[in-house]
Amino acid sequence: MIETTPAALEVSDISEASETSGPIETDAVVIGAGPCGLFAVFELGLLDIKAHVIDILDRPGGQCAELYPEKPIYDVPALPVVTGQELTDRLMEQIKPFGPQFHFSERIDGLVREADGRFRLTTDAGTEFLAKVVVVAAGGGSFTPKRPPLNGIEEYEGKSVFYSVRKIESMRGHDIVIVGGGDSALDWTLNLAPVAKSLTLIHRRDEFRAAPHSVEKMRKLVEEATVRLMIGQVTGLEGANGQLTAVDVKTASGTERIACSAMLPFFGLTMKLGPVANWGLNLHENLVPVDTERFETSEHGIFAIGDINTYPGKLKLILSGFHEGALMAQAAHKIVYPDKKLLFQYTTSSSSLQKKLGVK
Amino acid sequence: MTKITFIQPDGESQTVEAENGLTVMEAAKLNDIAGIEAECGGACACATCHVYVDEAWRDKTGKAADMEEDMLDFAFDVREGSRLCCQIKITDALDGLVVRVPAKQF
């Protein structure tokens, strides 16, 4: 599993600057840059529907990039075997002619309909869109940091338990506990050691998945006694009113209590439905029901394709999501171009489609 | 068919029969065993099918491979005998296997 690296977190810092300009006006907003979201850009593009694509990850591919970039997939038509990363790369190449605009490391939080029928979408970084149609291709939901199942942890989140750090300065003078053994845990150990009052890195074993040079640097800090390394697992939290005062750590020799004022757990990412639940769409067991002609949700103009939708006979397959995207685009065309008659065309023979694809 | 017993944290146990060649995770999902989430569908990419292999069976199931060991970093309360059960393939040698489901997956 690839973790959100500190570098990736900083990207969203920069995108906050876009808050000052007005909303981005576009035909379609595609939520999710997984295979279905990417292919939707292709199908929309063939019908002259321009799209902006938003994804919470810092790169395209969705689950293909995050969960199984190197795993072979065997059921994509005409590709007997393809890895998640290759499939993503090929889709990116395929949609290039349509010039989609990507907004990575952002999550759509707000979605409301305006008086003129368009949708106003707002990201967690403050970017705003006005779109004629919305395509929810959010897969299993948004990737969010895993919350360690420690009693009462919710109370501390955002106050003294953090899953990401926006500003290194905010951690100055703290007794910090970092938990984990991947790149995020190690990078933040190296970044925060200079500002922390004390820093303890806790990992369940004395082996680290992180980049070897980071591990080497961390070992050096441990040698210099700048960082304390503990091999163990956090089993409990101590504190009040959201302020952590200590964590209990189970080690080979028993349980030890470590005083601290901030904890950063890095246990990778998991998928949560997230804000989709707040957009007024009908939901069924955390999935969005759609019809199988238009793949439209309970809200006219909002479509849902791929793993996030449900209908009788639904299969969570990439190939099904591609089909859903093609039909969705036909329905979206009626909304984006209400007065235009849509002529069904093939890419093999239509010179106008080939022109759009940049091959004629 | 191979018998596998899943013991829940409250002590409740369920024995299921599974075909050789499936994984213990698949046997759990086919039989609706509580507490085995397997969010990633068996790709060794999520650590939500974490189990504790009963001490008597650890030699037979073997140890976690490197990639699985890395993924166990994402599991909660990892102990001796911790495995991701999507990585345990069912064979005749595992007939009677006993695994314990942890109190919490992540």
The DSSP line for A144-168 is EEPPP--TTHHHHBTTTB-S--S-G
Q: From CA A29, how far away is CA A27, in angstroms rounded?
A: 7
Give yes or no for residue A2 having a pLDDT over 70: no
Query: What are the chain B neighbours of A146 within 8 Å (beta carbons)?
Result: 74, 106
- In chain A, residues under CATH classification 3.50.50.60 are 6-144+270-356, 157-267
Q: What is the mean pLDDT of chain B?
A: 94
* Mean local confidence (pLDDT), B48-69: 95
* Site of tokens 């969570």: A316
Q: Which amino acid is at A41?
A: V
Query: What are the chain B neighbours of A233 within 8 Å (beta carbons)?
Result: 76-78
Q: Do A235 and B77 touch (CB under 8 A)?
A: yes
Say what the ipTM of the complex is.
Answer: 0.87
Q: From CA A37, how far away is CA A325, in angstroms rounded?
A: 8
Chain B residue with CA closest to A185: the answer is B73
Q: From CA A233, how far away is CA A267, in angstroms rounded?
A: 12
Per-residue pLDDT band at A272 (split at 50, 70, 90): confident
Name the A residues in 120-149 with CB < 8 Å from any B CB. 140, 146-149
- State residue A20's pLDDT score: 56
What is the residue extent of each domain of chain B?
A: 2-100
- State residue A6's pLDDT score: 40
Q: Which residues pair with A170 in a beta bridge?
A: none
**Superfamily of structural domain B2-100:** Beta-grasp domain (3.10.20.30)
* Mean local confidence (pLDDT), A180-189: 94
What are the backbone dihedrals phi and psi of residue A276, each rounded to the nearest 5 degrees, phi first? -50, -35
Closest partner CB to B106 (pick from A204, A205, A267) = A267
Q: Do A68 and B106 touch (CB under 8 A)?
A: no
Per-residue pLDDT band at A4 (split at 50, 70, 90): very low
Q: Which of A65-69, A82-86, A130-134, A330-334 has the lowest mean pLDDT?
A: A65-69
CB proximity A270 to B under 8 Å: yes
C-alpha separations of A247 from A253, A261, A337, B66 in Å: 16, 10, 59, 29
DSSP annotation of A296 reads B
* Mean local confidence (pLDDT), B27-36: 96
Closest partner CB to A181 (pick from B47, B73, B104) = B73
Q: Given the DSSP bridges, would you call strands A108-113 and A243-251 parallel, antiparallel or unpaired?
A: unpaired
- State residue A5's pLDDT score: 42
Query: What are the chain B neighbours of A235 within 8 Å (beta carbons)?
Result: 77
Cβ(A230)–Cβ(A251) below 8 Å: yes
Cβ(A119)–Cβ(A302) below 8 Å: yes
Q: Which residues pair with B17 in a beta bridge?
A: B3
Cβ(A113)–Cβ(A36) below 8 Å: no
Of the ranges A189-198, A264-273, B65-74, which is most confident?
A189-198
CB proximity A233 to B under 8 Å: yes
Class of domain A6-144+270-356 (CATH, top level): alpha beta
- State residue A65's pLDDT score: 87
Per-residue pLDDT band at A164 (split at 50, 70, 90): confident
* Mean local confidence (pLDDT), A155-173: 93
Cβ(A79)–Cβ(A35) below 8 Å: no
Query: What are the chain A neighbours of B74 within 8 Å (beta carbons)?
Result: 1, 146, 267-268
- State residue A167's pLDDT score: 87
- State residue A262's pLDDT score: 98
pLDDT in tens, A192-220: 999 999 999 999 999 999 999 999 999 99
Sequence length of chain B is: 106
Q: Which of A77-81, A143-147, B50-54 has the lowest mean pLDDT?
A: A143-147
Q: What's the half-sphere exposure (Cβ side, CA atoms, 13 Å) at A228?
A: 13
Query: What are the chain A neighbours of B73 within 8 Å (beta carbons)?
Result: 180-182, 203-205, 209, 267
Cβ(A54)–Cβ(A100) below 8 Å: no
Per-residue pLDDT band at A56 (split at 50, 70, 90): very high
Q: Do B106 and A235 touch (CB under 8 A)?
A: no
% of chain A exceeding 90 in pLDDT: 86
- State residue A14's pLDDT score: 39
* Mean local confidence (pLDDT), A297-319: 97
Give yes or no for residue A148 having a pLDDT over 50: yes
Using DSSP, state whether A225 is helix, strand or coil.
coil
Architecture of domain A157-267: 3-Layer(bba) Sandwich (3.50)
Tokens of A124: 């967690």
Q: What is the mean pLDDT of chain A?
A: 92
Q: Do A204 and B73 touch (CB under 8 A)?
A: yes
Report chain B's terminal Cα–Cα distance, integer Å. 31
Tokens of A345: 């065309």
Per-residue pLDDT band at A68 (split at 50, 70, 90): confident
